[in-house]
Amino acid sequence: MNELECKLEVHKCALCHDAPCKKIYKNINPERIIRALRLENKKGARSLLQNKNQWYEKKNCDEKCPLNINIDGIIENLVHTEEIVEGFETMDIRSEICGVKLENPFLLSSSIVGSTYEMCKSALEAGWGGVCTKTICMMPIEESSPRFSALKDWDETFLGFKNIEQLSEYSVEKNMEMIRRLKKEFPNKVIIASIMGRDEQEWEYLAKEVTQAGADLIELNFSCPNMKQKGTGSDVGQNKELVEEYTRVVRKSTHLPILAKMTPNITDMRVPALAAKKGGANGISAINTIKSITGIEINSFIPEPQVNKKSSIGGYSGRAVKPIGLRYIAEMSTSEELSDMAFSGMGGIYTWRDALEYILLGCSSIQITTAIMEYGNRIIEDLILGLKIYMKENNYHTVKELVGKAKSNLVNNSELDKNTIEFPRFNYQKCIGCGRCYISCKDGGHQAIKFDETRKPLLDAKKCVGCQLCKLICPQNAIEKAMKRIEKEFKNNMTQSKKILR
């Protein structure tokens, strides 16, 4: 199988629970390997297969893959295209959040995934560094059915996910019991209690309760977009006076570090973040979900999810929101006034690489919901494995060394180099002559690609502005960066069209 066929096969896999395929082979669990490949952890997948010939050892059994995935082909491709990385197992991926030690940077974010003792326990046992509880409140919570909708990719994976859910449906007492039990049974894991009050008295009461129950940190939910009651949730996060006031009340009621969780339904998150800092918060969590409509059923005219023939705007999360989360984190972490705050990053994190991107922009901890809802707690295996392998290969010894490493490379658009150009380079070995680059350049670019009966693209360097739309569009990844950038002045002085082939 070539690389593309292998990718398609991997994406066909249903990632079954207790997968039948693991009973087919003597030494390997194909589901585990394919899951690592799905979660951008190819090196991790390779590490699960130390011995080249292991997978051929099949058991004498009747089990088979319900989708007839070509497991041998996937593993053979993996063995031939990826080298084994040695010695990553002992890498130190400890981190911290407002001075509280984390065995790894990965936590469940406040949501359904951390709403009961059993769910948190199973996540902690699976290897998560901690959990942030579903937001604890004193108001009656009534939810609708159904309460989720999704924008899906061709292979049915979620591109984006919408929920119209509110806060914890369980009583304060039941939530306190959960925190007490978790802290007792998992003293080295971090428990963040997420809370939301309707007024100063409720914020104070909840802060005192969770402190007494033994939480390690408190997260203030200033950001739920689905609240029934006006003046709560993202209404607070959009109002810097209320953010400061409620943070101050909590500050007076606890000695614990405070994270203020921000809403992305605002133009400039630095404003409420600064208000939270003034009120006494030690860190910022971001982002909560983005107000959205995922789609409308076009025969009934009812938006999704349909709750007895009606719907409402809800919070968007998952893969689609990562760029927005990264943007808000970057704006805050590069702000001088917020430079002493801790950042806990979330929004669209599925893989170790997504998590690392948040870390590189200044987050020392990572929180996740949608990926867990889609794939389960088991994604922690690839978050840890992938991060360890990256650190080993790149010679980093602590997570701290990575925190904020990308910040200095982010500048204002006005500071970007506008004097040089990076031309695309066609790799004719990979090019299949589909002409997609030609179409996009003609209709959405600068008409700089010629495409004749030879079915090979040729670049007119005189016209090309180096936007690289062609590189993004190419279905074969056959367009690469030029070796070096050239001065625009040089290009402008060209007397006749030149064809740059490679």
- In the bound state with ligand FMN, the residue whose beta carbon lies nearer, of 7 and 353, is 353
- In the bound state with ligand FMN, the residue whose beta carbon lies nearer, of 9 and 209, is 209
Q: Is 196 left (phi over 0), alpha (psi -120 to 50) or beta?
A: beta
At 374, the amino acid letter reads E
Closest CB 146 distance from ligand FMN, rounded Å: 12
Residue 72 burial (CB < 10 Å; 0-12/13-18/19+)? middle
- In the bound state with ligand FMN, the residue whose beta carbon lies nearer, of 74 and 218, is 218
- In the bound state with ligand FMN, the residue whose beta carbon lies nearer, of 69 and 320, is 320
Closest CB 100 distance from ligand FMN, rounded Å: 18
Q: Which residues contact residue 112 at a Cβ distance below 8 angstroms, ignoring those fewer than 6 apart? A: 134, 165, 369, 373
- In the bound state with ligand FMN, the residue whose beta carbon lies nearer, of 47 and 166, is 166
Closest CB 133 distance from ligand FMN, rounded Å: 8
Closest CB 53 distance from ligand FMN, rounded Å: 39
CA dihedral over 486, 489, 491, 496, signed as positive or negative: negative
Q: Which residues contact residue 126 at a Cβ distance below 8 angstroms, ignoring those fewer than 6 apart? A: 377, 378, 380, 381
- Could you give the CA distance from residue 6 to residue 46 in angstroms, rounded to a whole number? 14
Report the residue count for the chain: 502
- In the bound state with ligand FMN, the residue whose beta carbon lies nearer, of 149 and 369, is 369
Look up 474 and say whether it is catalytic: no
- Could you give the CA distance from residue 112 to residue 133 in angstroms, rounded to a whole number? 9
Q: Which residues contact residue 9 at a Cβ distance below 8 angstroms, ignoring those fewer than 6 apart? A: 1, 69, 70, 73, 74
Q: Which residues contact residue 415 at a Cβ distance below 8 angstroms, ignoring those fewer than 6 apart? A: none
Of 21, 224, 437, 441, which residue is the catalytic one?
224
Closest CB 3 distance from ligand FMN, rounded Å: 29
Q: Which stretches does DSSP call E strand in 330-454?
A: 342-346, 365-368, 420-421, 424-426, 449-451
Closest CB 325 distance from ligand FMN, rounded Å: 7
C-alpha distance from residue 105 to each of 202, 284, 444 (Å): 30, 15, 42
- In the bound state with ligand FMN, the residue whose beta carbon lies nearer, of 38 and 261, is 261
SS3 content of the chain, % helix, strand, coil (to 5): 35, 15, 45
Residue 500 burial (CB < 10 Å; 0-12/13-18/19+)? middle
Q: Which residues bind ligand FMN (CB under 6 A)?
A: 109-112, 134-135, 161, 163, 165, 167, 194, 221, 224, 261, 288-289, 317-318, 321, 346-349, 368-371
* Segment holding 43, helix H or strand E: helix 42-47
- In the bound state with ligand FMN, the residue whose beta carbon lies nearer, of 47 and 254, is 254
Q: Which residues contact residue 8 at a Cβ distance below 8 angstroms, ignoring those fewer than 6 apart? A: none
DSSP letters, 45-104, are HHHT--STTGGG-B-S-----TT---HHHHHHHHHHH-PPPPS-TT----EEETTEEESS
Q: Which residues contact residue 414 at a Cβ distance below 8 angstroms, ignoring those fewer than 6 apart? A: none
Closest CB 121 distance from ligand FMN, rounded Å: 19
Q: Within a 10 A sphere around the Cβ of 453, how many other Cβ atoms?
A: 5
Closest CB 288 distance from ligand FMN, rounded Å: 4
- The set of catalytic residues is 224
